[in-house]
Structure formats: C-alpha cells, structure tokens
C-alpha cells in the first residue's frame, strides 16, 4: 500500500470538475461533479440526525438501488429545513446530471453543504451543471475538492494504491469539514472512488467499518449534522477477481479504504475550526470497549479540557472530572493518567508538581497523547480531539456574515 | 414574599466572616466561615461526579447525622484528587472549627473550590481558622460571599422573607460559580441559611426540589464537577410551628427556597465565564417532560448554537440540527420554532428572509427566549443558557496561570 498523487480521480475511469456557479461570492468555487465512465456499486453512510437535509433523504432512496454513476455537490447552501421544495430541488439536480449522462436519475447522488433553511438558488445551479459537464477531466479532482469547501482552510484529498490479487487497485477521495466540536461538527462530506471490482453489499460493509474507525473517531459521534454524508463509488476497472468476504484480498482492500478514510479524517481534524493542536485520547483498562469509548468521548468533548489544551495549561483535574461524570462506573482510586508519556495521576492521586513541570513542555507540542488507564479490565478505545481556541469562536460566531 | 438586603446572615442567628488566609495571592480573600448560634437540621445536594473531592466525601458522611452548626469554606484549592491526605485535611478543617465552637465535628461542613490535585496548604488554613472566628459577625455575609469566589466577577447573595404561620421566615444565601458550559460548569458552591423551624427530612426534600428547578436548569445537569455542593442550614429561630408535608405553610417555604435558589442560579448564569447573553430555551409539545428536557439540554449545550448567540447570528439551522440529534424521536415536519416571539420555522420549514430580518433585532438583545414546539404532546421544559464568547476561551485557557 502506498499513498499516491491525486484525489477523487486517481482510480481508473473517474472524471471530476469544480466551478463557480454563483451560489457563493465570485470567484469562489461552489459546485463539483464526479463521474465514473460507467456505473457501478455505490455504498453510503449518512448522518443519524432526524432533521436530515433533502440531499440526504434523496441519496438514501437512491442507495436502495445501490448503483452509482455520478455525484453532484454544491457548497454555500445545505438545502436543509427546506421541506418539499428542497426535495424537489435535490431531485432536479440529479435529473439534470442524469439527462446529460443518459443515465438513470437514481444513479446520480447529490450533496449540499452550507447555510441551513434557505432555498437553493436553482437558476444558478441549472446553469452550473452544463458548465461542469464541459469541464470534466482526469485532472479535475483538485477543482472538485475545492468547490465542496465551506469554512475549511485547505482542500482535503487522498489517493492510496495497492497490488491486490495481481491487479493495481486505487482508492481516491476528497472531503470537506473543519471543526469537530462534538456534537456539533460542521457538516462533513466525504466522497471516495475506487476501481476495485467489489459487490455492493461487500462495499457497504467495508465503508461502514472504515467510517467507524476514522470519521467517527474525530467527529466523536456518527450522530451529527443535518447533511453528513460519506459515499464510495466503485467502477470495477481494476479488473480484479471479485473481493470475497473473509478473503485476504478483501482485508487488503479494507486496509486501503481505512487508510483513505483515516487520512481524510485527520485532514479534517487538522483543519478544525481554530485548531492549534491535535490530541489523541487513549482509554484503556475499561470493563468494556463501550465503556472506554464513552470515557474517551467525555474527555474529548469537554470544553474545559479543550480550552486548557489551547492555553497549554496542564490542568489535568479537568480530565479527572470528565472521567468521573462520563456515566461509566469507575473506581477513582484505580485511575492512572499520563500525558505525553509522563505519569501524572496514579491510584487516583496527583503525582505532584515535579511531574507537572515536566508536563509543561508536552503541552506546548502540536500533537500528543492523553492516556487514561481505568484499572478495571481490558476495554480500550482511542480518538482524536482538538483544542478550543479564540478562532473557533470567531469562525462560528460569524459563520453567515 | 419579598427580597430583602443581605445574604447568608439575613436569617436570625447566623454569623459569617471572610478573610485572606494566604491560599491565594494577597489580599484576595480565600476562606469563609458561616456559623449558626445553635445547631439545627441541615440538607445537602452534591455532585454526582464519581471523582468527588474530599470535602464532598466528608460532607456526605456528616449529612448522615443531618445536624449542622457551621460551614467552613476555602477557595484557591479544590482538595480534589488528593487521596487519603485530602480527606485527612478536610477532617482537620472541620475538627478545628468544631473545637473552637465546642461542637461535634460532624456538625461542621466543609467546602473547597479551586485547582484540582494539589494538597491544601494546611499551615495557612490552620492559621486562618482562628482569625475567621474573631471576625464572625452579622455583617460578615458579604466578606464570606467574596471569599468563596474563583473566576467569578461578582459576589452572589440573596435574602428573601415571608410571613408564614404568623412568623417572619427568612432564607439567605450565597453562591460561587461562573461559566455554565455543560457538562463542564465550573465548580459551583451554594450555601443557604434559614431561621425556619423545619425537620431535616422535609428540608432535604425541599432543597432537592429547589435545586432541580434552579441550579439544575442552568448547569443543565446535576452531574458536573468534582466539588459541586448546595447546603441549607436551618436553626429554627423564627419559632414557627413545624412545617408539615402537604401544608400551605410548607408550600410557602418551598417558594422562598425556590426563589432564593433561582436568584443565585441566575446570578451565576449572568456572571458566566465570558457571558454576554442569557437565553431561555423553552421546549413544548414533547411527548413527555423528559423528552422536552433532553431537547432543551441539547440546544442549550450546543457550542455552535452558543457561538451563534455570541455572534448575534440568527443561524437557526443549528437549533434544528440540535433538535434532530437530541436522541428524542421527533417528527421534523411538525417542528415549530420562534425566537424572541418571532416565528422562524413552521412545519419544519424556514419561514424565509423577512422573518429572519426581524430576528436580527432580537439577536442583539441581552436576554431573549428560544421557543421550540415539537407538536407531539404536552411535555415541556425550560432552562437558561449563555453564549460562548472569546472571553470564555480566555478565562478557561489560562485558569491556572
């Protein structure tokens, strides 16, 4: 397995484009299109938010057929809380793309991201789609990756490749999303492409697993915004024998998909709204993995922990307080805590100033680990969190201005 | 019922003092003492955090006897995560006070607030206690209220009075706490006194009810920091007939206690870390009160909603997204939303720009209401939240510096 250049168009047979259609101020790109040279199985994972946006509702319907040909995305408007009009607009977007590709509408998927509650500017979108068609190319991946951004500072692309069953299989992808303050992660969209030959059910299972160990470990919960979507489209051009459940070939493909998703997730994390640090929270010694996950999430989402990280303040009491209120039954006198490899708490009691003074240096690093040992069993979990900075407040206070 | 001057020493028979003992930088007051002229029933509500501080562990033990005479409090050090040494220190504090009052140690309660994980500077505390004794007075309430503060900008005091069963009954109180970012409210301490004649079990039930409709509606959850404590000490000097369960007299007393707690809670809220706005979240039309509470808490604790409040941005989509991920089963097409009395969403759909333009004026107010109607039943709940500002980050990033 190796990382290669490119993004969504790195696998064989994918074209993409990104343009300014007039949804955002010129010349900011705001529409993207990804097309496969022919249709193939598609897998999807969506927000669990009950107030789901129109494109999510429509994609869920289309996914019942499990076949994809193209994905049309706009930024600047989320098409959420827009009622039946919003659904009609999303349908029209897929129909317009399908018409130009001589494909069925149900093979076209749609994504929207941006402000909630405003109707889509459909006249601009109608003009944008033909323009996107003329711009489709193997080199259009970067333009597409740029056109799906909102508050992101950087584009997020990935491409990974491996020899599997004698064939070269590539997974490419792009994502948008910055900020990961649980449970309010900014709307995250991620699109993956692959030339692997794989059945839809297998692909769906692989995508769910990859999302679980990547995006769900930075967003801290799959249950987030109105628009969150991850799609993976496979066109089979690699010509490998079908990837069978339980085979080493499928395991190798799963690793490719995991790596692609983790790379995109970490790019989202590093571009987090106002993020200056990435901190890994590792919880071990829990009775169960679920317990460990819950403790890790409580620490990783604490505003007080996150502001202390920003202030480079070794205020580990806030971590202890988070453990104590996570809802998991703990034995305070068994808790151990180490930050950046330096033991800080043993048997629930602080190890004193000298340990804390060594800690000051760790807190100044850009990336480090907070390791909690609950001393109760073998349950473990890890996730990444960021700090909470002035810039997070600035970006989110004035998002629509 | 009327609000009167004073605080913790407003009811008959209470003395208080506050001094600088050297835990904080001089001349910041850091120790407080409240004493009743004789012992009486005491009620308490404590943090549900499993990592509870030594003073909480000790107070819980003392509360099993249900009799109180004095409360000794220090700020600057939370005496949390300090193991058996912390417990011995807390015990010594109650023993030193009890000795000077010729009272039993178990009638003395102790509170600590400040940094977690450092041992108490006991030599300074030992010198502070005799000094506090010499300063005890009817006029010492304000000094005590000042000495329990940490990041608070203002002291928080209350006194309310009513004629009940032909007698004048007074409830007084003081609190510390600022910031209310759930679930990470800064440690909150509140102490109440009353001259009412009331049995311990009745007082305990009344205090739990008062806390539930006041502090638990701003902290958003009783399950918070390592040190959270609310105590109410009653010395019976009002000479009223014992307040019986189910009597109108008890109802009148409950109202006094509710008002005192709500006043303190709102003072904590208004002094919130970096707070510029107080917003009431009212949820109605839920299937149950518990559902309404859960939706209200999800909205009131959303970092994205809170930063939008700070930015005076009518970004109501974030409210809809919070409703959708609260975990309560909702019908998106039935949701109504009004902000400051202006309808914004009906039947789950935004009402357009003209409503939003009117909203801009509301968002500039210091206090207003966000009303959500789920359209499913008669369950309702209300709580208060604040905005999330630059100052919240500043205060919490550098708390220990």
Residue by residue, pLDDT tens for chain B (401 residues) are: 789 999 999 999 999 999 999 999 999 999 999 999 999 999 999 988 899 999 999 999 999 999 999 999 999 999 999 999 999 999 999 999 999 999 999 999 999 998 888 899 999 999 999 999 999 999 999 999 999 998 888 999 999 999 999 999 999 999 998 654 433 335 789 999 999 999 999 999 999 999 988 888 886 655 578 889 999 999 999 999 999 999 999 999 999 999 999 999 989 888 876 778 889 999 999 999 999 999 998 898 887 788 888 888 888 988 998 999 899 999 999 999 999 999 999 999 998 778 888 888 899 999 999 999 999 999 999 888 888 777 777 766 665 54
Domain A2-270 and domain A278-397, same fold? Reply is no
Sorted by where each begins, the domain ranges of chain A are 2-270, 278-397
Could you give the 3-state DSSP secondary structure of residue A94?
A: helix
Tokens of A199: 């059945």
Helix (H) or strand (E) holding B193: strand B189-194
What 8-state DSSP symbol labels residue B327? S
Instruction: Provide the pLDDT confidence category of residue A182 given band limits of 50, 70 and 90.
Output: very low
Identify the sign of the CA torsion A147, A152, A154, A157: negative
Check residue B221 and give its pLDDT: 55
Model confidence pLDDT, tens digit, residues A238-253: 999 999 999 999 999 9
A367 Cβ contact list (under 8 Å, min separation 6): A277, A278, A279, A280
Contacts of A23 (CB under 8 A, 6+ apart): A30, A31, A74, A75, A76, A77, A114, A120, A121, A124, A125
**A396 vs A90, which has greater pLDDT?**
A90
The H or E element that residue B34 is part of is strand B31-46
How buried is residue B170: exposed, middle or buried, by Cβ count under 10 Å (0-12/13-18/19+)? buried
Task: Return the number of other C-beta atoms located less than 10 Å from residue A42's C-beta.
Answer: 28
Mean pLDDT of A30-52: 95
pLDDT of residue B44: 97
Query: Out of B184, B223, B400, whose CB is closest to A313?
Result: B400
pLDDT at B183: 34
d(CA B330, CA B345): 15
Q: State in Å, rounded, how far the first CA of chain B is from the last one.
A: 44
| Whether the complex's predicted ipTM surpasses the cut of 0.90 | no
Chain-chain contact of B81 with A345 (C-beta, under 8 angstroms) = yes
Determine the average pLDDT of the residues in A106-128.
95
Contact B184 A321 (CB under 8 A): yes
**Residues facing residue A230 across a β-bridge:** A45, A190
Residues 161-200 (B) with a CB less than 8 A from some CB of A: 181, 183-184, 186
Residue A391 has pLDDT above 80, yes or no: no
Spell out the residues 6+ positions from residue A245 whose beta carbon is closer than 8 angstroms to its own: A202, A205
- Distance between B24 CA and the closest CA of chain A, angstroms: 17
Domain B2-270 of CATH type 3.60.70.12: yes
Residues in A touching B323 (Cβ below 8 Å):
50-51
Three-state SS at B368: strand
B360/A contact by beta carbon, under 8 A: no
CA angle B368, B374, B377 (to 5 degrees): 120
Using CA atoms, how far apart are residues A143 and B103, in angstroms rounded to an integer? 78
CA distance B263 to A327: 30
CA nearest B332: which of A88, A117, A111?
A117
CA B304/CA A385 separation, integer angstroms: 17
Q: Of the candidates B396, B393, B57, B43, which has an alpha carbon nearest to the alpha carbon of residue B226?
A: B57
The whole-angstrom separation of Cα A62 and Cα A60 is: 6
Residue A304 vs residue B349, higher pLDDT = B349
| Residue among A181, A325, A396 whose CB faces B183 most closely | A325
- Mean pLDDT within A130-142: 98
> In angstroms, how far is CA B263 from the centroid of its own chain?
9
CA distance A79 to chain B (A): 11
> Rounded mean pLDDT of A25-33?
97
- Helix (H, G, I), strand (E, B), or coil: what is residue B163? strand
Q: Which of B49, B88, B92, B86 shows the shortest CA–CA distance to B183?
A: B49
What's the length of chain B? Answer: 401
- CA within 13 Å, CB half, A118: 18
Q: Tell me, yes or no, if B225 comes closer than 8 A to chain A by beta carbon.
A: yes
For residue B400, give the nearest of A78, A315, A349 by CB distance.
A315
What number is the average pLDDT over the span A194-213? Answer: 96
Q: How far apart are CA B143 and CA A79, in angstroms?
A: 56
With bands split at pLDDT 50, 70 and 90, how would you rate the model's confidence at A183? very low
Q: Does B398 touch chain A (CB under 8 A)?
A: yes
Q: What is the pLDDT of residue B153?
A: 85
Mutate to test the interface with B, among A317, A318, A320, A333 (most CBs of B within 10 A): A317
The owner of tokens 């609000």 is B3
Beta-carbon contacts of residue A321 (< 8 Å; ≥ 6 apart) = A304, B49, B51, B80, B116, B184, B225, B226
The CATH superfamily of B278-397 is ArgJ beta chain, C-terminal domain (3.10.20.340)
Mean pLDDT on A373-379 = 97
Q: Look at residue B273 in the predicted model and tell me its pLDDT.
A: 66
Supply the pTM of this predicted model.
0.81
Neighbour-count burial of B83, counting CB atoms closer than 10 A to its CB (0-12 exposed, 13-18 middle, 19+ buried): middle
CB contact under 8 A, A325 and B396: no
Name the band, by pLDDT with cuts 50, 70 and 90, for residue A401: very low
Q: Which residue in the set B48, B184, B348 is minimally distant from A303, CB to CB?
A: B184
CA distances from A126 to A94, A97, A115, A123 (A): 11, 10, 19, 5
> How near does any CA of chain B get to the CA of A257, in Å?
27
Is residue A279's pLDDT more than 80?
Answer: yes
Using a CB–CB cutoff of 8 Å, tell me whether B320 touches chain A: yes
Tell me the mean pLDDT in the region A368-386.
94
Q: Is the distance from CB of A282 to CB of A370 less than 8 angstroms?
A: yes
With contact defined as beta carbons under 8 Å apart, do B308 and A399 qualify?
yes
Burial class from Cβ neighbours inside 10 Å (0-12, 13-18, 19+) for residue B13 reads: middle
Give the pLDDT of residue B301. 82
Tokens 């020493």 found at: B9
Distance from CA of A78 to the nearest CA of B (A): 10
How far is C-alpha A75 from the chain's CA centre?
16
Are β-strands B367-373 and B278-286 bridged in parallel, bridged antiparallel, or unpaired?
Answer: parallel
Active site residues of A: 187
Tokens (6 digits) for A195: 């030339």
Q: Burial code of B334-370, b = ≥16 C-beta within 10 A, e = fewer?
A: ebbbbbbebebbbebbbbeeebbebbeebbeeeebbb
Helix axis angle for A390-397 and B303-310, nearest 10°, is: 70
Chain centroid offset of residue A291 CA? 23
Cα–Cα dist B74/B294, whole Å: 35
Q: Tell me the per-residue pLDDT of A333-358, one tens digit each, with 9 for 90 and over.
A: 999 999 999 999 999 999 877 887 88
């Amino acid at each position: 397995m190796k990382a290669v250049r490119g993004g969504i168009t790195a696998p064989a047979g994918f074209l993409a484009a990104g343009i300014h259609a007039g949804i955002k101020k010129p010349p900011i790109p705001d529409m993207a299109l990804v097309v496969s040279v022919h249709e193939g199985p598609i897998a999807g994972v969506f927000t669990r938010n009950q107030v789901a946006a129109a494109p999510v509702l429509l994609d869920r319907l289309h996914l019942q057929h499990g076949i994809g040909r193209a994905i049309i995305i706009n930024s600047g408007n989320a098409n959420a809380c827009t009622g039946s009009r919003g659904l009609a607009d999303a349908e029209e977007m897929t129909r317009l793309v399908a018409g130009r590709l001589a494909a069925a509408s149900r093979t076209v998927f749609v994504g929207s991201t941006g402000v909630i509650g405003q109707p889509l500017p459909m006249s601009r979108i109608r003009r944008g789609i033909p323009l996107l068609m003329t711009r489709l190319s193997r080199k259009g991946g970067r333009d597409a990756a740029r056109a799906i951004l909102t508050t992101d500072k950087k584009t997020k692309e990935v491409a990974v490749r491996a020899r599997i069953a004698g064939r070269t299989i590539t997974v490419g992808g792009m994502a948008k999303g910055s900020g990961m303050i649980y449970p309010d992660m900014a709307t995250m969209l991620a699109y993956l492409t692959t030339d692997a030959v794989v059945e839809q059910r297998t692909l769906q299972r692989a995508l769910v697993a990859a999302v679980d160990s990547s995006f769900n470990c930075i967003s801290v919960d799959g249950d987030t915004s109105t628009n969150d979507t991850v799609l993976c489209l496979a066109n089979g051009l690699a010509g490998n024998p079908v990837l069978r459940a339980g085979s080493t070939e499928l395991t190798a493909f799963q690793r490719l998909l995991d790596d692609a998703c983790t790379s995109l997730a970490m790019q989202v994390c590093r571009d987090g709204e106002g993020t200056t640090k990435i901190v890994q929270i590792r919880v071990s010694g829990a009775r169960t993995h679920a317990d460990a996950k819950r403790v890790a999430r409580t620490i990783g989402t604490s505003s007080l922990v996150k502001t202390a990280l920003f202030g480079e303040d070794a205020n580990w009491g806030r971590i202890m307080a988070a453990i104590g209120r996570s809802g998991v039954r703990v034995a305070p006198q068994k808790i151990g805590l180490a930050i950046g490899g330096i033991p800080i708490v043993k048997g629930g009691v602080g190890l004193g100033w000298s340990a804390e003074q060594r800690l000051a240096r760790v807190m100044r690093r850009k990336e480090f680990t907070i390791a909690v040992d609950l001393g109760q069993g073998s349950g473990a979990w890890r996730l990444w969190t960021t700090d909470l900075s002035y810039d997070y407040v600035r970006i989110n206070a004035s998002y629509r201005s």
